[in-house]
Structure formats: C-alpha cells, structure tokens
C-alpha cells in the first residue's frame, strides 16, 4: 500500500481503444435468448443446511479483530466558490495516512489531483494486540502511550471493562515531547463470553477513548461426555470440569435411552485423521432408529471417506491434519484399519487407496505397539510381513500389555498360525 502510485484518472484517455464492428442479428437474439432463474432443489439444500447447523457449534468463538482497509467513493457538487466539504469516519484508533484523489469536471474541462492527509492523535494509545483469552488467564500486557506533540503531557488513565474482565494499570502518566512509554496492563479473564475494555486518557484540554474487543473462551476442547446409569432413587451425577451444556434422556426402557444418545453419533466426520476415523467407525457401528437417520448415516460415511482419502500422502500414509502435514503413526494405522472396516461393510474405498495405505504400514517397525498394530492391520488384508511377525513372536515383544497380546494373537490367527495364537 505504501508503494502504491497515486491514481491518475486522465491516463484513461491516453489508451487507444480498438475499433469494433457489432452485428445485431434480431433472429439470433430471439432464438438464443438466456433466461436467468434458480435451479430446482430436491432436498440437497436442506441436507447442506443440516450439516451447517451441526457444524455451527464448532465455529471459532473468537471474532476477527483485523482492521480492514477502506475506500469511499462519493460524488459531490461544488458551491459557488468552487469548494466542497466531505466528512467521514475512520476506524477505531486509526493513526496513519489517508490518500484523497479528487477528479473534477465541468462542461468543458476535466482535471485530477491527489493529496495525502496525515492522521494522528496528540497521544496515541497502543495496548498489546490480544485476540482472545482463556477463562482463568492472568497476564501482564503492555499499554503504550506515544506523545506526538512537542509539548509535555500530564495524563490521567482510566480503564473500564465488561464484567468478564478485570484490568488494572497505573492511573497517571507524564510524557515528554515525542516520548513513548509502556505501562503494565494486568488482565484477568473471569468468565467466558464476548468482552471489551476502554482505555481513556485525559488532561486539562480534553480526553480520548480507545475501545478494544477481547473475548474470553473456554480452555476446554469441544467434546461430549456421556454417562448412563439406572436409578431407583435420588442420585447425584458429577460432570468433569469444563462441561456446561447438559441434556438428560430418561426412560424406563434401556433401548430408548440408547436411541436418544445415538443422535450424537450422526454427525459429519471432521478434524484430524484420528478424529475422522473415530467418527467414521462410530457411524459404521451405529444402528439407525429410522430411515432419516439411516440416510444421514450413509451420507456422512461416504463424505467422511472422501475427506479422509484427501489426507493420504504420496507414501500411502495419512497426514495428521492434511496430506501436506506430518504423519502420526498411530493415527495413520488407525485410519487404514477403519478404511478396511468400511470396505468390508460395502462402502466404496478404491483399491489404490487401500494398497498404498497397506504398503505404508511396513515402515512401522521401531515401536512395539505400532509394529503390532500395523502387523494386525496388514494381516487383515493378507499382506503381513512374515519376517516381522516371526521376529516379534520370537522376541516375546508382545508380552508387555493385554492389548499387545490381543494384537499378536489376532495377527497370528489371521496368518493361519492357530497354535501360536493360543499361546500368545
């Protein structure tokens, strides 16, 4: 922006436009007319809206704090003296330069001029740029005051804030000409919610206030905690710290409660490779309660498979957040395992995707648990490396945990080694 050349509207007239020949064929216009209209929808919009509604709760709780550039275009009529005036508002706390381009014309002539206007407060207020805080945060930020004049400034500082914030700083400041000072701004985030604070500086000549938005969000990730119990009398249920929204489904029928809880599973798979795979596995094992839920289940699984496949890297593994990101070994093996489940259940997973994913499992031989899990998954597809299988079995590296023993026994059985599987 700073290197942008001033506008010169008169250069428009320096450009020579090519001659053009236009053929207006009335018959062609009548037979090839265009009609603008809306495409008929047969339920797709409603489905998309349902997905959007379910994803709304995962939107960022923090509003954008970017100060955008702006441009105003206005036509004005000069008075008898050839003068005009125009007032406009600058963004909150704006200090900088504004370029004004004026194009004037009358019946016989046209001209253009431009000028730069410096905008600066006598004292500029610059607090630390904070986007959001977590509930419970306590920090010391900076409040910088810049004297842009050649006079001493003896100022009083006053800060007011929303109830979910507590902000303190020193109450007085003395600035020499063209001096800038930083003061400690102690901020405490008390409760979640949209917040703001206003910094007001004043002296004998007047005052100035700068408004700042500062949201406080929950320090806990969005997650669902479910607890099922049978009661025959009053009972107290304690939720883990950080959970606020509660829904209760009660019934004399166990199946009714389970069906009510199943609505939390019928959602679009999102997030990292592990989260998408977990959601797909949950959707696959869900027993829909009606045709509508069954339709949602299938649609979300198909879409989820497509999104998971997009995360596959050239070496066949699955990037944790995308095909360009790092690979988490467990998450990649888990994704391959789930894709095999989905394929066996009748969902379409391309042969190339499965083959590349299975080939990538061969490199997980350093960590015992990862090696066993990769061995089990490759055994499901009859692609296990028998040398790795024999080595792990002979070294008894699977004896550390019950899970390791299960994976070893399952891999042995899938490879036709039933006797060894019983020993493991």
CATH code for position 261: 1.50.10.20
Tell which of 163, 196, 217 closes a domain.
217
What pLDDT score was predicted for residue 209? 93
- Final residue in a domain of this structure, among 217, 245, 269: 217
Return the exposure string of 315-324: e unless at least 16 CB atoms fall within 10 Å of the residue's CB, then b.
ebbbbbeeee
Query: Is 14 part of a structural domain of the chain?
Result: no
Q: Are residues 273 and 406 in the same domain?
A: yes
In a domain, 190, yes or no: yes
Same domain, 162 and 211: yes
Decide: 188 and 162 in contact? Cβ < 8 Å: no
Same domain, 401 and 280: yes
Assigned domain for 376 exists: yes
Summarised one tens digit per residue, pLDDT across range 265-284 is 445 456 788 888 888 888 88
Q: Are residues 168 and 287 in the same domain?
A: no
Q: What is the pLDDT of residue 81?
A: 86
269 and 144 assigned to the same domain = no
Q: Are residues 264 and 390 in the same domain?
A: yes
In this structure, the answer to whether residues 267 and 375 fall within a common structural domain is: yes
pLDDT tens, the chain, 424 aa long: 456 676 677 777 777 766 665 555 555 544 444 444 444 444 445 555 555 555 555 555 554 444 556 677 788 888 888 888 888 887 777 888 888 888 888 888 888 888 888 888 899 999 998 888 999 999 999 999 999 999 999 999 999 999 999 999 999 999 999 999 999 999 999 998 889 999 999 998 899 999 999 989 888 766 666 666 667 788 887 777 766 677 776 666 544 454 454 444 445 456 788 888 888 888 888 777 778 778 888 888 898 899 899 999 999 999 988 888 888 888 899 999 999 999 999 999 999 999 999 999 888 766 677 888 888 899 888 888 788 787 777 777 777 777 778 888 888 888 888 777 777 6
Looking at residue 264, the DSSP 8-state letter turns out to be G
In 16-109, which ranges are E strands?
96-105
Beta-carbon contacts of residue 358 (< 8 Å; ≥ 6 apart): 316, 336, 377, 378, 381, 383
**Is 264 contained in some domain?**
yes
Residue 388 inside a domain? The answer is yes
| pLDDT score for 164 | 93
pLDDT the model gives residue 242: 65
Q: Are residues 261 and 408 in the same domain?
A: yes
- Is 280 among the domain residues? yes
Q: Please name which of 328, 323, 390, 329 lies closest in space to residue 353, comparing C-alpha atoms.
A: 323
**Residues 376, 282 within the same domain:** yes
pLDDT of residue 40: 43
Indicate if 388 and 264 belong to the same structural domain. Answer: yes
In a domain, residue 239? The reply is no
For the question of whether the overall pTM of this predicted structure is more than 0.75, the answer is no
Chain centre to alpha carbon of residue 127: 26
Q: Are residues 207 and 258 in the same domain?
A: no
Rounded to an integer, what distance in angstroms lies between the CA atom of residue 177 and that of residue 148? 7
Write down which residue in 156, 191, 217 finishes a domain: 217
Position 35 scores a pLDDT of 42
- Residue 155: give its domain's CATH number: 2.60.40.10
Residues 299 and 367 in one domain: yes
Residues 277, 263: Cα–Cα separation, whole Å: 18
Q: Decide if 34 is inside a domain.
A: no
The pLDDT score that the predictor gives to residue 38 is: 43
Q: Give Cβ neighbours of residue 390 (< 8 Å, ≥ 6 apart).
A: none
Tell me the C-alpha distance between 248 and 232, whole Å: 16
Tokens, residue 124: 């500029």
How large is the angle between the packed helices 291-309 and 273-284, nearest 10 degrees?
Answer: 150
Range of the domain at 178: 123-217
**Per the structure, how many domains does the chain have?**
2
């Amino acid at each position: 922006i700073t290197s942008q050349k001033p506008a010169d509207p008169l250069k428009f007239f320096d450009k020579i436009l090519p001659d053009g020949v236009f053929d207006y064929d009335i018959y062609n216009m009548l037979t090839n007319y265009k009609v603008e209209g809306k495409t008929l929808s047969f339920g797709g919009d409603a489905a998309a809206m349902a997905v959007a509604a379910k994803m709304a709760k995962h939107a960022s709780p923090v509003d954008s704090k970017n100060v955008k550039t702006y441009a105003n275009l206005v036509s004005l009529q000069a008075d008898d003296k050839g003068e005009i005036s125009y007032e406009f508002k600058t963004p909150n706390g704006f200090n900088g330069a504004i370029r004004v381009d004026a194009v004037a014309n009358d019946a016989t002539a046209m001209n253009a001029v431009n000028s730069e206007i410096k905008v600066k407060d006598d004292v500029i207020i610059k607090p630390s740029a904070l986007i959001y805080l977590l509930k419970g945060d306590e920090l010391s930020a900076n409040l910088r005051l810049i004297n842009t004049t050649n006079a001493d400034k003896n100022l009083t500082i006053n800060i007011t804030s929303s109830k979910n914030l507590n902000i303190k700083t020193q109450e007085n400041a003395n600035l020499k000409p063209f001096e800038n000072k930083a003061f400690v701004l102690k901020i405490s985030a008390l409760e979640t919610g949209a917040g703001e604070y206003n910094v007001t500086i004043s002296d004998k000549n007047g005052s100035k206030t700068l408004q700042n938005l500062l949201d406080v969000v929950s320090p806990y990730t969005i997650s669902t905690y479910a607890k099922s119990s049978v009661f025959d009398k009053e009972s107290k249920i304690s939720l883990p710290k950080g959970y606020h929204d509660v829904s209760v489904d009660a019934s004399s029928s166990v199946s009714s409660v389970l069906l009510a809880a199943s609505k939390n599973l019928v959602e679009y798979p999102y997030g990292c490779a592990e989260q998408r795979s977990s959601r797909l596995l949950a959707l696959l094992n869900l027993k829909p309660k009606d045709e509508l839920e069954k339709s949602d289940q299938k649609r979300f699984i198909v879409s989820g498979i497509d999104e998971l496949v997009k995360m596959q890297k050239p070496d066949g593994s699955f990037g944790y957040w995308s095909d360009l990101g790092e690979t988490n070994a467990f998450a990649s093996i888990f994704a391959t395992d789930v894709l095999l489940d989905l394929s066996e259940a009748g969902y379409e997973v391309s042969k190339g995707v499965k083959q590349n994913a299975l080939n990538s499992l061969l490199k997980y031989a350093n960590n015992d648990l990862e090696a066993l899990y990769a061995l089990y998954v490759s055994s499901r597809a009859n692609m296990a490396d028998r040398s790795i299988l024999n080595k792990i079995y002979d070294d008894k590296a699977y004896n550390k945990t019950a899970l390791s023993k299960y994976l070893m026994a399952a891999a042995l059985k899938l490879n036709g080694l039933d006797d060894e599987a019983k020993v493991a």
